[in-house]
């Protein structure tokens, strides 16, 4: 079976039955040596804004199970990832601005697997001062145009 990766467009030959579908394949910039992995399930109610701006110590890989996720990383435009879609972030110094429910009338559920650097928290909130200092790195938002 030949599977095309929707994120990068690369094609790899894999020997999997037709019931198994490649959802995402990426090459993250790094994996923290001695890091640990964890998988979480997030179930936002309708209209939930998600977490405040934050960063992760290592890369994260996610899959939207139901609903629609409003997703924004530093330097990338805001986008909506619908049920069945995937997302990832490199971790490290990149700010994750949005991960809220894009729907006002239905819940959004997604699963995320994260690689955490040793001795560091899985998630660290970004304070207002740093957000101001790095504002020039944020992509224009629909409300800015």
Q: What is the spatial distance between Cα 21 and Cα 24, in angstroms, rounded to a whole number?
A: 9
Name the band, by pLDDT with cuts 50, 70 and 90, for residue 86. very high
pLDDT higher than 80, residue 29: no
Tell me the pLDDT tens digit for each residue of 33-61: 888 999 999 999 999 999 999 999 999 99
Distance CA 40, CA 16 (A): 26
Mean pLDDT of the region 85-101: 95
Give me the mean pLDDT over the 121-131 stretch: 95
Long-range contacts of 30-35 (CB under 8 A, 24+ apart): 30/58, 30/59, 30/90, 30/91, 30/92, 31/58, 31/59, 31/115, 32/57, 32/58, 32/115, 32/116, 32/117, 32/118, 33/118, 34/118, 35/115, 35/116, 35/117, 35/118
pLDDT number for residue 142: 72
Q: What is the CATH number of domain 26-126?
A: 2.60.120.10
Q: 6 or 85, which is more confident?
A: 85
Q: What is the pTM of this model?
A: 0.82
pLDDT at 83: 98
- When mean pLDDT is compared across 45-49, 68-72, 127-131, 138-142, the lowest value belongs to 138-142
Closest to 90 measured CA to CA, from 131, 46, 45, 31: 31
What's the pLDDT at 3?
A: 39
Instruction: Give 143's pLDDT tier (boundaries 50, 70, 90).
Output: low
Write the pLDDT tens digit of every residue in 103-119.
Answer: 999 999 999 999 998 98
Which residue has tokens 């998600």?
Answer: 50
Output the average pLDDT for the chain.
88
Q: Domain-by-domain residue ranges, the chain?
A: 26-126
């Amino acid at each position: 079976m030949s599977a095309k990766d929707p994120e990068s467009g690369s094609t790899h030959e894999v020997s999997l039955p037709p019931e198994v579908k490649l959802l995402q394949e990426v090459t993250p910039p790094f994996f923290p040596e001695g890091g640990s992995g964890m998988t979480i399930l997030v179930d936002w109610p309708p209209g939930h804004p998600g977490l405040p701006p934050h960063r992760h110590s290592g890369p994260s890989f996610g899959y939207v199970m139901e609903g629609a996720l409003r997703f924004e990383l530093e330097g990338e435009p805001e986008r909506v990832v619908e049920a069945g879609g995937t997302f990832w972030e490199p971790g490290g110094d990149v700010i994750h601005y949005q991960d809220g429910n894009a729907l006002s009338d239905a819940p959004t559920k997604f699963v995320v697997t994260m690689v955490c650097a040793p001795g560091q928290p899985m998630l660290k909130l970004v304070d207002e001062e740093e957000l101001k200092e790095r504002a020039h790195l944020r992509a224009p938002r629909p409300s800015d145009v």
